[in-house]
Structure 1
């Protein structure tokens, strides 16, 4: 059986930093509640004007999924409060379903070009797909597969973190317009590859093979 906590706990400090970043970015994502979106999210202004429902569905719910990740991967929470873990998992899946649908609509109508739109659209579809499979395997009580697909889902949820790491780099080097289409792919494809590497490593460790 895949033991996903073992797959990540060997990197305790990076993981702790990652969870902290996830929570802080989730909180910071709600800055649109206290300031004009034209000031705090200028790249989203056209969405706010033309399709506010899709925009707020996405930016209002996606941070909840991001903030839930540390709790959902807490071994202590699962052991001591399994019912809470399950209810938070349902909430995680629900907000991703709604936010992901909003993200697809936003990707199809972005003004940043086809490359950016395809990158964001592919991310949204993969996010919905991996999370849906995680839920399916949880319902089927196939826990090893559930954990594996949750790792994949988490990697895509964490695109919100890596996106914010790449944006200032792109802005300071080639500029927003030139870098953003590439960032729309870089923010999640490497995450997905790292998730697969972790799963492969954990699988080899479980069978006694060299990592």
Structure 2
């Protein structure tokens, strides 16, 4: 999953590295848009890669200190990336804006709740909220896959409906999968 994530990040972030060729939304009146976007991408990248290690059971069991420090890094990078995402979302196209906003708010909320629960030593609830947060951070995978598949298949769908669906499908499917997993493993002890 880590290698797939690195490939995904390289593929999707590379166009943004050059301001002249970056696919930017209109942002008149907000001169800090590009640096804000790049900072959001950088912190979200760290959050995504850190999240993968955080859910790895071997790391949690055998190196709990690494898991704790990785969790702190994940929380900080998520907070920065999420807030910056909410700053730039007003400049996104209207289609899909609500889906992105809801996903970002949920990502921040699940991360904060997971952090609060671990500070309270409520491990099962911490696990639940952090798995929900993981589902949200992995949301962008689905969006990219769905858009790429739609372009290759040349689907006869109104682009507005298609782009709106892309902004919702990823995180809804991820949350459903995590909920199914948590219900399926509900009887297992949390170590």
| TM-score higher than 0.5 | yes
Q: Select which of 51, 54, 69 maps to 2:51.
A: 69
1:189 aligns with 2:172: yes
- CA 1:187–1:49: 2 relative to 1, 3 Å: farther
Summarize the alignment of residues 124-203 of structure 1 with structure 2, pairs less than 5 Å apart: 124-171=104-151, 172-173=154-155, 174=157, 177-203=160-186
Between structures 1 and 2, the one with greater helix share: 1
- CA 1:20–1:176: 2 relative to 1, 3 Å: farther
After TM superposition, the structure 1 stretch with the greater mean CA deviation from structure 2, 138-147 or 124-133, is 138-147
Q: Would you say the 8 A contact 2:16–2:38 is kept in 1?
A: no
Q: Would you say the 8 A contact 2:43–2:78 is kept in 1?
A: yes
Q: Which has the higher contact order (CA 8 A, sep 6+)?
A: 1
After TM superposition, the structure 1 stretch with the greater mean CA deviation from structure 2, 19-28 or 53-62, is 19-28
1:107 aligns with 2:89: yes
Q: Would you say the 8 A contact 1:108–1:121 is kept in 2?
A: no
Q: Would you say the 8 A contact 2:99–2:168 is kept in 1?
A: yes
Aligned residue in 2 for 1:58:
40
Q: What TM-score results when the alignment is normalised by the length of structure 1? A: 0.77
What value does the CA root-mean-square deviation take over the aligned residues?
A: 2.4
Q: Would you say the 8 A contact 1:37–1:45 is kept in 2?
A: no
By how many angstroms is 1:57 displaced?
2.5
Unaligned runs of 5+ in 2: none
Unaligned runs of 5+ in 1: 1-17
Q: What TM-score results when the alignment is normalised by the length of structure 2? A: 0.84
By how many angstroms is 1:157 displaced?
0.6
Residues of 1 paired with 2:104 and 2:20: CA distance? Answer: 24
